[in-house]
Amino acid sequence: MTKVTKNNKSQENPFNPSFGEMPHSFLGREDIIENIRVAFENNLNDPYRTVLFSGMRGIGKTIILEKIAEISLEFGFVSVNITAGNSMVNDLFDQLFERTQHILSKKRKIKSFSIKQFSIEFFNDDETLGFRTRLERVLSKLNDLDIGLLITIDEIYKTAPGLPDIIIAYQHYKRERRKIALMLAGLPKNVSDILSDSEETKNFTFLRRAERVILKNIDIAEIEQLYFSFFNESGKKLSSEDAQFMAEATKGYPFMIQLVGFYVWRTSHHIVSTIDINEGIAKAKERLGVLVFAASLNDISEKDLSFLKAMAAFELPVATSDIQAKMGVSHGYVQQYRLRLLETEMIYSPSYGKLDFSIPYLKEYLL
């Protein structure tokens, strides 16, 4: 059974239903985190030095990147953590110089990353130089001091300005055996686009050899143990039956684990009642709609949405042929949108010819 790390402040709510906020437990992600930790300990050829994470909203991509950045510090890395977008390159250099100024400053003796005291000459960045040259100058200074560089990029998409420059530069640094690591994360459709074979993605070929981690839902038994431990060890009496009921309500969805735990904790007192649990789950479902479903559905087309609404009208899992009949479209049409939505991982196929929703309670939200 998974070991649960409990918050030391017993009366603080240990659940955090905020996107990108570090949880108190990395339930179901222990193996991933251990692989990353070993990669930083091992030589430069470890495949987990370059990882591409994918998964739907609320599955925990951002917090995994934040945890990796935290781990990297233990092994003498500076981390730069950016989000794909128009200001990505500027953000990278802004963070890089902010976090290394104590290292690249004039004759200043420091002790950092378990490195012995040293002093180096003042480092001047030249913004007129190309991206790779600018980054290489800093990387060389860091590597000379046995300090590595970790770059994490969240919410990647193929047309993100500056992304090709970062990927190409990183590929060269890897060949030169520099002390560097790269972690990327994005929605399934965006990751699939980046890995596709097209003129737009010709600079991303290197990523097809990166380690792929597809983040999935968490086992219900592990969630039950999490709830039981957190509540009871913090002075809130929760029965094993109620812990199981709460766990089943999450359907294994990581963000829902945090939502249910947060609202039941906030509602309850010394003894967690059935009323507390039902009220907490109801509030969690409401917030799930606002924070996840609204954003997810905003990313898809009207025709994609029509397909999902047609799915929601049936008991699940539903046959593709039933969706086709309800929409009144051709077989080719329904197959096109079926494949599009499977790629987003908003839906999945539990058996041949059948479809179901990947995100819990999306059916109810659509009705």
Assign domain 301-366 to a CATH class. mainly alpha
Percent of the chain at pLDDT > 90 equals: 68
242 φ, ψ (degrees, to nearest 5)? -70, -35
Q: Which of 317, 289, 333 is nearest to 325 (CA)?
A: 333
Which two three-digit tokens encode residue 30? 């222990």
Q: How high is the pLDDT of residue 102?
A: 74
Write out pLDDT tens, residues 126-182: 677 889 989 998 999 899 999 999 999 999 999 999 999 999 999 999 999 999 999
Identify the residue with better confidence: 102 or 194.
Answer: 194
Residue position matching structure tokens 């908003």: 346
What pairing do the DSSP bridges indicate for beta strands 148-154 and 354-357?
unpaired
Write out pLDDT tens, residues 74-122: 999 999 999 999 999 999 999 998 888 777 664 344 344 444 444 334 4
- Strand order through the sheet with 211-214: 77-83, 148-154, 180-186, 50-54, 211-214
Mean of the per-residue pLDDT values of the chain: 88
Q: Kindly report the pTM of this predicted structure.
A: 0.82
Which two three-digit tokens encode residue 9? 């402040």
Q: How high is the pLDDT of residue 284?
A: 97
Write out pLDDT tens, residues 232-275: 999 999 999 999 999 999 999 999 999 999 999 999 999 999 99
CATH 3.40.50 given to domain 30-214: yes
344 — pLDDT class (breaks 50, 70, 90): confident
Which two three-digit tokens encode residue 276? 């507390």
Q: How high is the pLDDT of residue 117?
A: 45
H or E stretch at 115: none
